Amino acid sequence: MNKWEKTKTELISKQAFYSVRYDYLKNPRNDKEIKVTIFDTSDAVNIVALTKDNHLVLVKQYRFGTENYVIECPGGFIDEGEHQQKAAARELLEETGYAGTDWRYLGSIPNNPAFMTSYIHHWLLTDAELVAEQHLDEGEDLAVLTVPFAEVRKMLQNGDINHPHAISALVRWQAIWT
């Protein structure tokens, strides 16, 4: 397949966590130019955190787009210049109060390749323990859940966990645990 040619870019809006632009692209199949909306955001991390007694640390968090609470892995944006693993440790501690030292990288996926430029980096922590209280941002409202190892598959199968980034991370982790 041939590459799409970008003919022009227009910045539309710059916000705290993202910017929005229009890209004008020429379709190599028919030579027609189209205008697409692109969201530039920082890469992010999500964490599969396992406690020593085989519980998975999850969060139930309000998500503005779906206007509902979603059960997912803890995670968040990587700060500029921050290493992914440090971001994972920071986000886990801030959102849940859990920390640990036995980290393993599980890989990454595009955030949403249809219109976003960023990637989600999955991290596994196998010795998570509660060491502090949550320190949530003003825009966060979440509860910490610790789910027995054996229940995670059931939660995935019945749709209790339906955030695509969490599913991706848990599937990668599942490939290790089976």
Instruction: Please state, rounded to an integer, the average pLDDT across all residues of the chain.
Output: 95
Q: Which amino acid is at 85?
A: Q
Question: Residue 24 — φ and ψ, nearest 5°?
Answer: -105, 120
Q: Is residue 82 over pLDDT 90?
A: yes
Q: Of 114, 97, 109, 117, whose CA–CA distance to 40 is shortest?
A: 117
pTM for the predicted model, two decimal places: 0.92
What span, in angstroms and rounded, lies between the C-alpha atoms of 45 and 168? 12
Kindly give the pairing relationship between strand 75-77 and strand 44-51: antiparallel
Taking only the tens place, the pLDDT of each residue in 147-161 is 998 899 899 999 999
**Ordered domains of the chain (ranges, CATH):** 5-41 (no CATH), 44-177 (3.90.79.10)
Q: Is residue 16 over pLDDT 90?
A: no
Check residue 5 and give its pLDDT: 96
